[in-house]
Structure 1
């Protein structure tokens, strides 16, 4: 998207360099189980400014005094966790790169989360790209004046807070074997916190403990990576550990309720040039005549699961719980990233950190390249110049 950067990168690219990059990226870590793209994205100033403006519009909604009231129904009753705090610690907004009516590249919101993303891995990935492919300083993967030192400092403030690193753990149901475990290990290296599977944690009264060298150590803060949708059919696993929905003497980073509040559920409340028309299915009286230009998405799913791209009226009438679905105008991605054999579609995730008592701060980003019908890494396994990457934006 920055022609000079793209031309220089493509001319210098070789399969050997890419392999050296992958080796460097994985050095000292378990194998990365998802595809990392051959290239970063180079984002020009005009598009960068639109991405920032789009994020600010969404944050304005989240900071409204009535935000919790309008999103209360987003949280499934049986997954509501007590002692919710006043704000999420993480905000991530996914934008498809499209062309607007003026023919300019412009972002369109695809997804949003009040849940952590790959805050550790993206820094590691971008730094490795910069080193292995000699990317110059006219572009940067950090935003908002951040550099490595300032970023790690804020990450520590958000995740560790006022505690000691050993009193804080990154937790997932089976953390070391998750598809995104590379991010867990990078985060551990950066911050010194523990990585714990759910089964590693035991409840005594209202307090939580894990064992280290035969000694119990009390957990005071959990960097939560457990998505309830993944364990909804297997709540028995809580019996050998603890149930997050109980009364606990623990701080959450971020509190699980924010996963639901800031999600697809929030999108119908947003009216913006950067947000596709989105409506709750149960509130639609007359279906659009051009239904082929819409997608149907379940509110409570992740990683693109359950999304219907080619929607028919029978798909809609067959849905038993329309209150749990949204109908959204399709976003037409522009194949704006030039690979050696044609254009590739791109999506950019703007990633914010929100410290306790502070303001949300745009720090870093994640990107995905796609040639398939959907953007996610799992939908592009058979292509090259696709997969997870990062955007270097014009300074």
Structure 2
């Protein structure tokens, strides 16, 4: 894809420049990335970018047309948080880079979420790629850094004092995405706070800063709510399901509403056919499908080769989907003449008074393994891990 830029990048690449890339990211954030950084960006054509955007716009329109009661069915009863909103503040959508039956490179929907991804990190990552390889600046994302920052600040901080806005996570220092938390703090002037440190008085929430209790008015939520049940002996003063005087960015219910739950409801040439497990037609061949739990994160629980014995043993079949397999195409050539596969995540924000979300940035993931997830990569390969996509004319 885009041979001109791939050739130039591979010619300029060196292990020294790769180390420089990682060093700059660590210097800018003060944190070492907790996940593997790919040596290479992903180069794709403007034609492919157009396909991505058109598919996303169709999916957004289909979601907007769904009755709210359909979306509400996705929220488990024990996970419902009060004061839901009409739409999410974030919308992210993942596409595999695949090959069609007629040989064209095309996107295929993998999953979608109304949950914030690595917005601050990805913009910094893109900027850093351009610093180490200046020729990339001619095909970079046209959105200036200041515009990007203003969009995020308006969305997350709003009219509040940044002191009263927090990024909420559980044990943030242990999270692989801690580098994004640090960069978000720099970008917006807010603090990252662990859920266990949040104080509650009546309906108000507080955190401690320099031995002072600071009221929390807005929460940039980075906690996967249903993951909390998996943490033994977790002690907190605040339960998500309680009514409190805060504004959620984004409201936790949307994590469930825009999720794999929607995949069986969507139609498009770039959307693989999906079924809820309890509605899987007898005439379909199980070998052609991937089994996914509805609310897993980072690829956990996905079965690439489900059998009837496995599906029959699942009791809560309504909480699983079967998604038609897609074939990721290895087209990203490394310096050894080997090829990686990739996935692109589009990172949107959705302002409260806007009819449609705004695309801010993208996130790329490269692999040579069966699953496109940074946790499933071979340890000794190159051109794998977290990346960023650049689009250009052929």
User: TM-score scaled by structure 2?
Assistant: 0.96
1:328 and 2:323 are equivalent in the alignment: yes
- Separation of aligned partners in 2, 1:236 and 1:226: 17
Determine the structure 1 residue equivalent to 2:82: 82
1:35–1:381 contact (8 Å) kept in structure 2: no
Task: After superposition, give the CA deviation of every residue in 1:288-342 in whole Å (9 maximum; x if it has no partner).
Answer: 23x2221111112111111111111111111111111101110100002111232
Determine the structure 1 residue equivalent to 2:352: 356
1:36–1:387 contact (8 Å) kept in structure 2: yes
Determine the structure 2 residue equivalent to 1:47: 48
Determine the structure 1 residue equivalent to 2:18: 18
1:57: how far off? 1.0
- Separation of aligned partners in 2, 1:137 and 1:130: 5
Aligned mate of 1:280, from 273, 276, 281:
276
User: TM-score scaled by structure 1?
Assistant: 0.95
Determine the structure 1 residue equivalent to 2:254: 258
* Mapping of residues 181-196 of structure 1, within 5 Å: 181-196=178-193
**Secondary structure of 2:366's aligned partner:** strand
Aligned mate of 1:377, from 374, 379, 392:
374
1:381: how far off? 4.3
Bigger drift between 275-284 and 68-77 goes to: 68-77
1:293 and 2:288 are equivalent in the alignment: yes
* Mapping of residues 28-107 of structure 1, within 5 Å: 28-64=29-65, 66=67, 68-107=68-107
- Separation of aligned partners in 2, 1:16 and 1:39: 13
Structure 1, unaligned runs of 5 or more:
none
Determine the structure 2 residue equivalent to 1:318: 313
- Separation of aligned partners in 1, 2:66 and 2:278: 26
Bigger drift between 80-89 and 337-346 goes to: 337-346
Bigger drift between 23-32 and 212-221 goes to: 23-32
Bigger drift between 292-301 and 189-198 goes to: 292-301
Task: After superposition, give the CA deviation of every residue in 1:121-156 in whole Å (9 maximum; x if it has no partner).
Answer: 00111100111012334312x3xx522111110000
**Secondary structure of 2:96's aligned partner:** strand
* Mapping of residues 207-222 of structure 1, within 5 Å: 207-222=204-219
**How many residues align structurally?**
389
- Separation of aligned partners in 2, 1:231 and 1:135: 44
1:176–1:195 contact (8 Å) kept in structure 2: no
Task: After superposition, give the CA deviation of every residue in 1:176-218 in whole Å (9 maximum; x if it has no partner).
Answer: 2211010000010011011100122101000101112222111
1:99–1:334 contact (8 Å) kept in structure 2: yes
RMSD: 1.4
Determine the structure 2 residue equivalent to 1:202: 199
* Runs of 4+ displaced beyond 4 Å: none
1:65: how far off? 5.4
Determine the structure 1 residue equivalent to 2:303: 308
- Separation of aligned partners in 2, 1:251 and 1:332: 41
**Secondary structure of 2:295's aligned partner:** coil
Aligned mate of 2:390, from 389, 392, 395:
392
